[in-house]
Amino acid sequence: MRFELIVFDFDGVIADSERLACGVAAVLATELGAPTTEDEGLELFMGRRAGDVQALVEARSGRACPGFIPELQRRTLAAFSNELQEVTGATRFVRALAGRRKCIASSSAQVRLRAALDRLGLAKDFAGAVFSADEVERGKPYPDLFLYAANRMSVAPERCVVIEDSVSGVRAAVEARMAVIGLLAGSHVDEGHAARLEAAGATAIARRFEDVADWIAERER
């Protein structure tokens, strides 16, 4: 079966940003009365949209945190402008898909996605095909975003393959009835990450983008 749409998560799949973004969120959470280490930030916040991160911080701190989202966005964009890099092999893989339909379905806000894509030089590669969890009622691990992206691209869910790095994202893709490759190429990945993605229901595990390409080619024979 040939996949009609390749759906990319963004943070930790295209941009090597999980540790950077979750670290920013962990520092802000700590300042607001919810002490959070960088590793705890990865565990708690990875793959979640800003509103869900705010809810977690408020629950941990025991108080409301007005202004959390714009401050998180400001700090994250500042960090991205100075430090953001691609996940190794991402640009090469994306460019090799010339002629194939692809999109991004990310928990990040559109303003953050646009800034990051511009920095990585990939904005034109995904023109008109970047979807944010802010556009749906529920973020990952619910399937809403992936189903929304497939609908916007006019492709049936079962004809899509998702590339994800987070447990919540893998669960969302499984609930959307899409094949999902758990990618381990980001700098945030630790020894137990593959097992967590497998437990969440990943169809396959890939350590590099070359492995992603090989798996897709094998499935499409």
Residue 29 has a pLDDT of 97
- Could you give the CA distance from residue 171 to residue 147 in angstroms, rounded to a whole number? 13
CA pseudo-torsion sign 180, 136, 10, 129 = positive
Least confident of 48-52, 56-60, 166-170, 204-208: 48-52
Domain boundaries, the chain: 5-17+85-219, 18-83
**For residue range 137-162, what is the model confidence (pLDDT) as tens digits?**
999 999 999 999 999 999 999 999 99
**What share of the chain has pLDDT > 90, as a percent?**
95
Q: What is the pLDDT of residue 183?
A: 99
d(CA 205, CA 215): 9
How confident is residue 14, by pLDDT bands cut at 50, 70 and 90? very high
If one compares 37 and 47, the residue with the highest pLDDT of the two is 37
Mean pLDDT of 114-135: 96
Cis before 141? omega within 30: yes
**Distance set, CA 149 to CA 34, 154, 188 (Å):** 34, 8, 26
pLDDT at 59: 97
Question: 0.75 exceeded by the pTM?
Answer: yes
Architecture of the domain delimited by 18-83: Orthogonal Bundle (1.10)
- Average pLDDT score, the chain: 96
What are 39-52's pLDDT values in tens digits? 999 999 988 889 99
pLDDT of residue 119: 95
pLDDT of residue 98: 84
The whole-number average pLDDT for the span 6-10 is 98
Tell me which CATH code domain 5-17+85-219 carries: 3.40.50.1000
pLDDT at residue 1 above 90?
A: no
In the chain, pLDDT over 70 holds for what percent of residues? 100
H/E element, 180? strand 179-183
Q: Rounded to whole angstroms, how far apart are CA atoms 34 and 63?
A: 10
pLDDT in tens, 65-124: 999 999 999 999 999 998 999 999 999 999 999 889 999 999 999 999 999 999 999 999
Please name the residue that has the structure tokens 């691209």.
Answer: 153
